Amino acid sequence: MTIEINQLLANFRPPAFPGSYFISFEGIEGAGKSTQIIQTQRYLESLNFRVLVLREPGGTSFGEKLRKAILESNSPIHPVAEMHLFCSSRAQLLHEVTLKELAVPGTIIIYDRYIDSTIAYQGMGRGLGIEAVLKTHQSFPLTLVPHLTLYIAIGLNTSHLRQNKRQIPKDYFERQGNDFYQKLIDGYEKSHELFPERVFKIDGEKDESFVFEEIKRAVHHLIERVR
């Protein structure tokens, strides 16, 4: 890593609310995030945590409008515009919901996607570069990162097989080709390298029960470490 990237990374930190935790899920299409998020929410609630699940882009009235504009677009969006749309939704969600809710002790907020998606999709997939993404996140509240990111890693073939089984229309990103998807995988691997203590990589090629057990192990480690 360059000296400049190291300096940019030094500005990131998780929210500091004792007894509350910020977790994100990441992975390419078909990784199984939605299924694992539901199971994780139920599991954490069984441990008496107050759990909120939020999605990106979205989670606020403003963010949901941006989500619709992006995912339903039938014409190309410029990569820089793409990145800033996601960052705008993220900043509003942090300000309007996340920080206020984390102030309530015993809260766990789960995000479906966060900065690692921007690194993968816009930084690598669209070719803007990792440094450009990190620079865009240098103003608060975008300097906040989760305590734990659960990256469910799968390959291209698995992604396509699982997407085809859904038999639903593909959105703006799902319509991209193999080259784009390989860049996404490379981007997630790069994010894992940049944030090794935060990003926990799980083999998503294995069955759902294996993935969930790995998630529980990582979550327990987080709670014991941060408590």
- Per the CB < 8 A criterion, the answer to whether 180 and 29 are in contact is no
**pLDDT at position 3, please?**
80
**pLDDT at position 172, please?**
63
Label residue 26 by pLDDT band (50, 70, 90): very high
Return d(Cα 79, Cα 122) in angstroms, integer: 6
Q: Which residue ranges form the domains of the chain, and what is each CATH number?
A: 3-226 (3.40.50.300)
Return d(Cα 218, Cα 198) in angstroms, integer: 10
pTM score of the predicted model? 0.94
Q: Is residue 227 scored above 70 in pLDDT?
A: no
